[in-house]
Amino acid sequence: MNIKNKFIGLTFLIYSIPVFILSKVAYFKNTYGTFGALSPLPIIFLLIVIYCIYLFIYKNEITGKERVVTTYTGLKKIFNFVILAKLKGESGITTEEKVSLLLYLVKIFFTPLMIGFLLDNTNALYNFATTKDLSFTKYNIYNFYYRALFSLILFIDTIIFTFGYLVESKKLGNIVKSVEPTMLGWIVALICYPPFNNMSGSIFGWHTQDFNSFGDINVTLFFGAVSLILFGIYVWATVALGWKSSNLTNRGIISKGPYKYVRHPAYISKNLSWWVMGIPFILVSPILSVLSLSVWSSIYYLRAMTEERHLMADPDYIEYMKKTPYMFIPKVF
């Protein structure tokens, strides 16, 4: 078997197996569906097949430096160490293999989620596009136009992140330099996403929502506009990241867009929107609501801190911190 065919086989093997397993696990089977349904898993499987076809017709020789090869060699060493006990004391995994293995976990977890979110947002936009009532009454502006804009923002965000998780390319400048190495960094990130946010939400509560009623339509429109502006900053941050968009990874430092002013614009804008939309909850149940929102803001603060610690291993980020000294609010903090 020549190196190209071996690479194609390894690619199909290491990426198809987790997709197949997810399709058989009860939770993911109910969430993502099985092959043949319009859900993330069959879409991912199709993308793997398309990628393998691309590799088959690719004319240039494929070298052993490809990400999939280091992932495979790392998985093989773990298998030998854990299952076959061929290695004693340590697994012998190299730094490059460790990065590839951690990235493998990032892709397995986040890619189905992002494609699922993208499908949901696409469906929401389709429903808005087929709505016949386009009147500009105050109630319709809030119930239709605000929510359509919000779905569009999320659509843009998820399509960029989906591509970021799927594609790593030198031409696009989004090669992964490193992946979050600490357990804390992974925990505070994962508990913000399904299925783990179901458990964390039941523990910490969730006293906000995307849009909320403030009793008076004019007040509701005002705070709805504030929320849209904040989420506009959030998606601006995603657009600035571009194809580098990805959780738990360093794909190069971005200093344009909102990142020119603060180092974590997405986190602060999202959390401020949650606080704004949580005001009706706070008025009804102030202690529980403030406590719940404070916990979630603290989780995102920990996400920012663990990311800072991870990225500070990159000299480019040290220079970026000097130019952009504020984490969340310009001239304040």
| DSSP output for 227-285 | HHHHHHHHHHHHHHHGGG--TTEE-----SGGGGT-S-HHHHHHHHHHHHHTHHHHHHS
Query: Are the C-beta atoms of 92 and 77 separated by less than 8 Å?
Result: yes
From the list 47, 28, 174, the residue with the least C-alpha distance to 109 is: 28
Distance CA 135, CA 31 (A): 36
Residue 30 resides in a domain: no
Buried b or exposed e, range 210-242, using 16+ CB within 10 angstroms:
ebbebeeeeebbebbeebbebbebbbbbbebbb
Domain membership flag for residue 29:
no
CATH, residue 225 = 1.20.120.1630
- Per the structure, the count of domains in the chain is 1
The pLDDT, as a whole number, for residue 42 is 85
Please tell me the predicted confidence (pLDDT) of residue 25.
78
Question: What is the domain extent for residue 256?
Answer: 110-333
Residue 90 belongs to some domain of the structure? no
> How many angstroms separate the CA atoms of 36 and 324, rounded?
48
Has residue 25 been placed in a domain? no
CA 87-88-92 angle, 5° bins? 55
Give the DSSP letter string of 152-202.
Answer: HHHHHHHHHHHHHHH---TTTT----EE---HHHHHHHHTTSTTHHHHHHH
pLDDT string in tens for the chain (333-residue length): 567 777 888 888 898 988 888 888 777 766 676 665 567 888 888 888 888 887 777 656 455 457 888 898 888 888 877 776 655 555 678 889 999 999 999 999 999 999 999 999 999 999 999 988 889 899 999 999 999 999 999 999 999 999 999 998 888 899 999 999 999 999 999 999 988 998 999 999 999 999 999 999 999 999 999 999 999 999 999 999 999 999 999 999 999 999 999 999 999 999 999 999 999 999 999 999 999 999 999 999 999 999 999 999 999 999 999 999 999 999 898
User: Are the beta carbons of 265 and 237 closer than 8 angstroms?
Assistant: yes
**Predicted pLDDT at 66:** 77
In a domain, 24, yes or no: no
Residue 64 inside a domain? The answer is no
Give the pLDDT score at 35.
Answer: 60
In a domain, 85, yes or no: no
208 domain residue, yes or no:
yes
Q: What does pTM read for this prediction?
A: 0.92
Please tell me the predicted confidence (pLDDT) of residue 20: 87
